[in-house]
Amino acid sequence: MDGFLFQATLYLGAIVLIVPIASRLGLGSVLGYLLIGILFGPVLGLTGAEMDSLRHFAEIGVVMMLFLIGLELEPRVLWAMRDKLIGLGGLQVTITLALVTGAAMVFGQEWRPALAMGMIFALSSTAIVLQTLSEKKLINTPGGRSAFSVLLMQDIAVIPMLAVMPFLALPGHGGDHGAEAGHHGAVNLIAGLPAWGVALVTLGAVVGTVLAGSFLVRPLFRFVQAARLRELNTAMALVIVAGIASVMLTVGLSPALGTFLAGVVLANSEFRHELESSIEPFKGLLLGLFFITVGAGMDFSYVREAPVLVPVYVVGLVLIKVAVLYALALMFKLDRDNRWLFTLGLAQAGEFGFVLSAFALSQNILPEEIANMSNLVIALSMLITPALFITHELLVRWRARPAGEKPEHDSIEERHPVIIAGMGRFGLTVHRIVTMTGAATTVMDHDLRVVQRMRKLGIKTYYGDPTRPELLASAGIENAEVLVVCLGDHDASTKLVAHARRVRPDIHIVARARDRVHAYELLRAGANDIARELFDSALRTGRHVIQKTGLTPVEAENAERTFFEFDRAALRDLSKVWKPGVPIEDNAEYMELSRALDEELANALARAPLREAYPRRHTDDAAPQILDPEAETDEETGKAREGDG
């Protein structure tokens, strides 16, 4: 018991210390777990015989991961993504598998282990790539979405790979699931059955899993939830995973296959989110433990014995993947920047390779030496993933012209009463409503790609940095009536407002604000009207919520209007006591006034009858007004702006 507690403390302590550091350095949690294993195993030699039993326990994390992947794959979502899943993802897996298999045979491997190695190295790291894309705000780019489709197809492909691998066992080695079942302490019901019996039992297990997920789990979950004890929901989720895994082992199938099927069946269930939240913590820790055991089992003696061959394997794998991915990116017509993001982002091997390698070893498909070498190549290719993303960033910067060589801004010959600076989705919406009412606009943007896209849409847009005085003068600032600042850049929009107010004290300026503090800055810079992001969408969401609590649509609209009027006046009052550079919570005068205004609003809402329009708080029409159109994702920066409204 003492030894177990010491090991648990050691591993958990390392996890909470090293994994956050790895994540902050951009390496990702998976590499953090691998580094812990490498530190405890090859470096410090702290691991021993307990690693085998620990690895079998940690494999439950892999099973849980596949169950959660299944829960995410609603049939309608899969159908909507069928082109990229089958085309882009399917071609990547198939071509890479074939090339790696051929390369392994060239290096002297027999076709069975060569094919297993093709499966192992055809996959990329879902955990590392998705996390890195999210951190770098690239997940919603065309390259990021294409990478996600390929990763999803790879995750799905793991299931048939696990099903096919037992048939690759070398003759005379007894490579079947029975060995695995016995290894896990399960009874194998198909031992000694004829081929047709094995087929019937296997088919029955799959059909039974689907039927149980469709008709048995829902009433059981309702029964458990009636007790209103959260721990029972967690127990129910674990029973589903453990029970299906046990059934699969009993009939000689991979437990991952069964749990994945169950996840897909339950993807449309009303208990899907409850299952995800219950299993996610267990999956994360157990999967992390699995990667620790992989890292601890890595044999770096191969690097010492073959200092040239190991790098050749790693570089060769990356080059094969780069060639395949780049060709597919060309085929599917990704632009150059997204093409390299897609290619370099997926050029490593993945965590499922460890799973397949361990499975191939247990099935006697791969010799232990080859399996260990495969794990080493996988881990090293994953370790260089941050370098691959850095390479992509360098390529993008290299392609971009230096600041001094950017194209000169356009010469603007037209003069219109409304100038719109910034043509992301925010600016585009403003332009559409203004022009549809008959007013003419002069539109400009600093992003050449946005300008080209607008021109293709038939919207005359001028290229140039709106904060440059000469461009603003070229656009006719001296005669314009309204300047609309729709820039996504916080500092640039404030700078533009301040400059426009200096050169044209009488022009009306409408500016887009990121949040409340940015609104104060723009008011100080000279903006007349402020459009805060997210405020209007949050306001309308609140109206829908209170309407669902029993208010009529008219009552909810009156409450919304009153809140809007009070908040608009309060923002103007608060801007007078706001101090630049001082956090709001540290400004005593601001906080006191804010609490008083909130109390005034609450009292007004409590006193006024809901069925009549609330009395509007007096506002000075000559003072700057706060307009609040619905916020959009900031297309200029690719970020979803968040603020307190």
Q: Over the stretch 129-183, which tens digit does the pLDDT of each residue have?
A: 876 787 677 877 888 888 888 988 887 788 788 778 888 876 554 444 433 434 4
Angle, vertex CA 176, rays to CA 263 and CA 247, nearest 5: 35
pLDDT at 324: 95
- Identify the CATH number of the domain in which residue 453 sits: 3.40.50.720
Q: Is 581 inside any structural domain?
A: yes
Label the pairing between strands 529-532 and 508-513: parallel
- CA torsion, points 591, 592, 594, 600, in degrees to nearest 10? 160
- Among 342, 375, 396, which residue terminates a domain? 396
Count of the separate structural domains present in the chain = 2
Q: What is the mean pLDDT of the chain?
A: 79
Residues 344 and 382 in one domain: yes
Residues 187 and 82 in one domain: yes
Residues 417 and 372 in one domain: no
Backbone phi, psi, residue 483, to 5°? -115, 125
Residues 55 and 193 in one domain: yes
Residues 283 and 417 in one domain: no
Residues 475 and 445 in one domain: yes
Q: Is 275 inside any structural domain?
A: yes
Q: Is 640 inside any structural domain?
A: no
404 confidence band (pLDDT: 50, 70, 90): very low
Residues 99 and 41 in one domain: yes
Q: Would the pLDDT of 247 be above 60?
A: yes
pLDDT at 638: 39
In contact, 65 and 283? CB cutoff 8 Å? yes
User: By percentage, how much of the chain surpasses pLDDT 70?
Assistant: 82
Q: Is 632 inside any structural domain?
A: no
Q: Is 375 inside any structural domain?
A: yes
Residues 376 and 469 in one domain: no
SS3 for 152-209, per residue?
Answer: HHHHHHHHHHHHHHHHHCCCCCCCCHHHHHHHCCCCCCCCCCCHHHHHHHHHHHHHHH
Residues 363 and 452 in one domain: no
The H-or-E segment that residue 345 falls in is helix 336-345
In contact, 585 and 490? CB cutoff 8 Å? no
Q: What is the pTM of this model?
A: 0.55
**Residue span of the structural domain in which 10 resides:** 2-396
Q: Is 37 inside any structural domain?
A: yes
295 confidence band (pLDDT: 50, 70, 90): confident
Backbone phi, psi, residue 43, to 5°? -85, -55
Angstrom distance (rounded) from CA 122 to CA 71: 24
pLDDT at 182: 40
- Among 372, 396, 420, which residue terminates a domain? 396
Read out DSSP for 428-446? HHHHHHHHHTT--EEEEES
Q: Is 636 inside any structural domain?
A: no
Segment 199-210, tens digit of pLDDT: 677 778 778 888
**Type of residue numbered 615:** P
323 confidence band (pLDDT: 50, 70, 90): very high
Residues 438 and 370 in one domain: no
1 confidence band (pLDDT: 50, 70, 90): low
For residue 406, CA distances in Å to 310, 337, 401, 402, 518 come to 44, 18, 6, 7, 29
- Among 364, 396, 428, which residue terminates a domain? 396
**Type of residue numbered 405:** E
Q: Is 271 inside any structural domain?
A: yes
Segment 520-575, tens digit of pLDDT: 889 888 898 888 877 878 888 888 888 888 888 888 888 888 888 888 788 888 88
- Identify the CATH number of the domain in which residue 283 sits: 1.20.1530.20
Residues 425 and 317 in one domain: no
Segment 416-434, tens digit of pLDDT: 999 999 988 888 889 988 9
CB neighbour class for 638 (10 Å; exposed up to 12, middle 13-18, buried from 19)? middle
Q: Would the pLDDT of 510 be above 90?
A: yes
Residues 244 and 315 in one domain: yes
Angstrom distance (rounded) from CA 126 to CA 149: 11
Ordered strands of the 482-485 beta sheet? 461-463, 441-445, 418-421, 482-485, 508-513, 529-532, 625-627
